[in-house]
Chains A and B, each alone.
Chain A
Amino acid sequence: MGSVGLVIPQQMFFAEPLPLRSGAALADYTLVYETYGRLNADASNAVLVCHALNAGAHVAGEAADGSLGWWDNLIGPGKPLDTDRLFVVGVNNPGSCFGSTGPMHVNPATGRVYGADFPVVTVEDWVDAQARLVQRLGIRQLAAVIGGSLGGMQALAWTRRYPERLRDCIAVATAPNLSAQNIAFNEVARRAIVTDPDFHGGHFLAHGAIPRRGLRVARMIGHITYLSDDSMENKFGRALRHAELAFSTQAIEFQIESYLRHQGDKFSEYFDANTYLLITRALDYFDPAREHDGNLAAAFAMARDNRFLLVSFTTDWRFSPARAREIVKALLDNRIRVAYAEIAAPHGHDAFLLDDPRYHGVLRAAFERIAKESGQ
């Protein structure tokens, strides 16, 4: 199993405005994307990969700075999503901070950095933007769309908005909407950012500031929810940083504190605060059943000809198996083809980025069929 090697991100500019669910529009925008493998003659072997909160278009291979793609363990020659057979597209969503038009870019209407003025984007808006990119790449119908977590929501939204433009939908560690608890975590993270004195109402770049403290706390909160109680216990337990207690309320005493602070520090160096607000809001808003009086089955009625694979992880308490089963039920009620794997992995929500052999085995089997069905 190999790597796709060195990859150069590409850009595509869209001059036509992107109408958004809020009623606003993105005047024009650039999407950063990467591709791996080769598009076949009838453009039938393309797989779109949707990213979650803290990721972008760099899905596989090695970037110029040496960084590995965020789903490199899944995608490459001979890997479960085999780039020898399938053409893979990774794209960064608008509003994110990994290259595509986002809050750190200049608003053409004002000539100033968007900051807090970047319009609120939703999962459906992202899917619309992705659909335009896919069309420009000459792909009439995707062999599959895959995503985990928030990426899984995008994969699901594809089947609702453009059911005829994809065949398979693979949604991992995702949910039909966020629970009150999930929204609560997001809100704590947002308050941490917004109440940072360096936030300046979202126009911190104009003030030469970055709300790092808020971002750190937001990341710490998020990180706790991505891990399971058990995995945290196994990794850190009550291990101390030093042999003796310091009897300090401020110093780092436990290894878990050190780990969370490190994660927070790292994150605050590269992630944009407005992007964090936008993406967590997109998560909160995703709720396909809402426009059908809460009837999730009705929300997937148009996806009759799509084929689904849902995967959940038993220790994922943020997007629990029970939530995935709600989606499965909605599909079953529509008599839609669906397979569902519930992986007994110990790693919590993070499991979707790891390479548990049962998980990757199921994905490999699915992609082998998908490749075969696209003539590869």
Chain B
Amino acid sequence: MIAESIVAVVPQGSRVLDLGCGDGALLARLQAERGCQGYGIELDDAKVLACMRRGVDVLQLNLEEGLAIFADDSFDVVLQLDTLQNLRNTTAMLRETARVGRLGVVSFPNFAHWPNRLSVLRGRMPVTRALPYQWHDTPNIRVGTFADFEVLAGQCGLRVLDAFGLRDGQRVGRWPNLRAATAVFTFERG
């Protein structure tokens, strides 16, 4: 599901790089509805093929190897949606995101969402829509919270422009660290 509030932060006509673009649905939509152009990066064969079928310009690259292929400031917007938690080199990737794009947009599952807290209080790792995996087979190697990211952004020299939570695709403004399943941050180089 593509949250309207994420589509909304991408300015009309902007050049977009979508890191971990999946099946390319978001890019296809940004191209069709917002006159954007750009590329998606995806590692998975099936998803690369899905992007090709949509006519999305997908590059099959491993994000763990960085973004050296892109020049500084080559995009208006770099999206890193539901990807951060799968990457080993989190801080390097955030710096790279800020280097190649003027605006960075990151989203990731908020581990401090209250059902997750309840689950851990009960002694079990959470399994929810945003965190659908069992602890032993999850691809999410970085689990963090909305509040954690605010700290990390500072450490990576990012200036946070906007931060909000998402629950069922709806924007959560108040107490996002407790009330949002997904954390969304937009930022630029500090």
Contact = CB atoms under 8 A, between A and B. Distances in A.
Interface in A328-376: 328-329, 332-333, 335, 337-344, 358, 361-362, 365-366, 368-369
Contacts of B59: 328, 338-340
Nearest to B70: A332
A361 B47 CA distance: 12
B57 interface: yes
A325 interface: yes
B57 A337 contact: yes
A243 B147 CA distance: 70
B57 A339 contact: yes
B89 interface: no
A325 B69 contact: yes
Contact of B49 (A328, A340, A362, A369): A362
A365 B53 CA distance: 5
A339 B15 CA distance: 16
B43 to A, nearest CB: 9
A369 B48 contact: no
Interface in B62-86: 69-71, 74
A333 B70 CA distance: 7
A362 B57 CA distance: 12
A341 B60 CA distance: 5
Contact of A365 (B15, B52, B60, B70): B52
Nearest to B37: A337
Given A358-B45, A361-B49, A365-B52, A338 B71 contact: no
B57 A338 contact: yes
A338 B59 CA distance: 8
User: How many A residues are at the interface, by size bracket?
Assistant: 20 to 34
B36 to A, nearest CB: 13
Given A340-B60, A341-B60, A332 B52 contact: no
Contacts of A344: 45
A352 to B, nearest CB: 16
B58 interface: yes
B49 A332 contact: no
B61 A342 contact: yes
Contacts of B71: 332-333
B114 interface: no
B39 interface: yes
A365 B61 CA distance: 19
B28 to A, nearest CB: 12
B48 to A, nearest CB: 6
B69 A328 contact: yes
A333 B74 CA distance: 8
Contacts of B154: none
B55 interface: yes
A362 B52 CA distance: 7
B45 A332 contact: no
Given A358-B49, A365-B49, A332 B61 contact: no
A314 to B, nearest CB: 10
Contacts of A332: 39, 69-71, 74
Nearest to A373: B55
29 contacts: A328-B59, A328-B69, A329-B69, A332-B39, A332-B69, A332-B74, A333-B71, A333-B74, A335-B15, A335-B74, A337-B37, A337-B57, A338-B59, A339-B51, A339-B52, A339-B57, A341-B48, A341-B52, A341-B58, A341-B60, A342-B60, A342-B61, A343-B45, A358-B45, A358-B49, A361-B52, A362-B48, A365-B49, A365-B52
Given A342-B60, A361-B52, 13 more contacts: A333-B71, A335-B74, A337-B57, A338-B57, A338-B59, A339-B52, A339-B56, A340-B58, A341-B52, A341-B60, A343-B45, A362-B52, A365-B52
Interface of A: 325, 328-329, 332-333, 335, 337-344, 358, 361-362, 365-366, 368-369
Q: Nearest 9 A-B pairs (CB), nearest first?
A: A365-B52, A340-B59, A342-B60, A365-B53, A329-B69, A358-B45, A361-B49, A339-B57, A341-B60
